[in-house]
Amino acid sequence: MKTKMYQEEEFLHPETEVDLETRTYFSDREYPTIVLSVGLGGSAGQDSSVYNLTSRLVNSGYQVKVFSPRNSGRSTGHLTIDNYIFDNELVLEDTAQKNGELAYAMGHSLGGYSLARILDKGSLAKRAVLLAPLVDIKEQNPEIFKLLKNKNMKRMAAHMLELIGLDSQRFSHVEDAQTFLDSLEKASPCNSQLSVPTYILLVGKSNTGFEIKNLDQLRQHWERLQTKESEIEIYPELDHYFAEQNLPNRKNFFRNSRHTRKILDHIDNFLRQVI
């Protein structure tokens, strides 16, 4: 039976004149909170790819707080990798302060990367879940990053981002898009030890639908970073959006997989420490 879901909108201000949209989805304010960090192109709204997962988590007995990265959804400002990481930490800290206890943390793709970059701080979350996280920003599309080393190709890509954006993610002008692309190139890989128990789920296909051939190497890398009581699983048949076939519509994220119920049950058990 589907639970009736409510939502509350709030804005944080990581910098002067920057509004960071957060939305908390819930059926009961007594339920524990998960801070969910979206992948590139996602946002806090109901039109975001993560809404399928959000509604399922609410139905499982959680409050879910989602934030829109800068210049996506109803957030303002300009997105870089560094400020995405900074804002992720801010939302976790603000949630803990308001709730009087640490929240759980969950991140998908770029959201999983940003979360892993701050989980060396044990004071940010009780437990965490990383869904198809990136060790390195370049790992899934290395050929594209090779092309971006050419200044003319990068400028063309920046113009495309300015014109069409990435789903909910907007870019105000070509320089804004260029700054974002520069931040992708400069972003450090995830190499810090995770200081909270973390459940990591790796999938077999990239965000463009190609087979990931170094899954075992990625698993070993993440295992080296994990702390006690952590887990890792690989789903080689699933794509980056946890569907059984790669589909262009990201709203299929956590929707069409026969594994979805099993994965959600395992996430629930892991977060509640019933392992």
Residue 122 has pLDDT above 70, yes or no: yes
> pLDDT digits over 229-248, tens only?
999 999 998 889 888 765 55
Mean pLDDT of 185-204: 95
Q: Which range is most confident: 93-107, 206-220, 250-264? A: 93-107
CB neighbourhood size of 211 (10 A): 10
> pLDDT digits over 125-136, tens only?
999 999 999 999
Exposure string of 20-51, with b = 16+ CB inside 10 Å and e = fewer, is bbbbbbbbeeeeebbbbbbbbbbbbbeebbbb
Mean pLDDT of 45-59: 91
Residue 208 has pLDDT above 90, yes or no: no
What is the spatial distance between Cα 160 and Cα 82, in angstroms, rounded to a whole number? 22
* Predicted local distance difference test score (pLDDT) of residue 84: 98
Backbone angles phi, psi at 183, to 5 degrees: -65, -30
Task: Report pTM.
Answer: 0.94
> pLDDT digits over 257-266, tens only?
678 889 999 9
Q: Rounded to whole angstroms, what are the CA distances from 113 to 8, 151, 170?
A: 26, 26, 20
* Predicted local distance difference test score (pLDDT) of residue 251: 61
Q: Rounded to whole angstroms, what are the CA distances from 23 to 6, 13, 44, 200, 250?
A: 10, 14, 6, 24, 20
Confidence tier at 203 by pLDDT (50, 70, 90): very high
Residue 275 has pLDDT above 50, yes or no: no
| % pLDDT > 90, the chain | 76
Identify residue 235 by its one-letter amino acid code: Y
Residue 114 has pLDDT above 50, yes or no: yes
Mean pLDDT of 153-169: 92
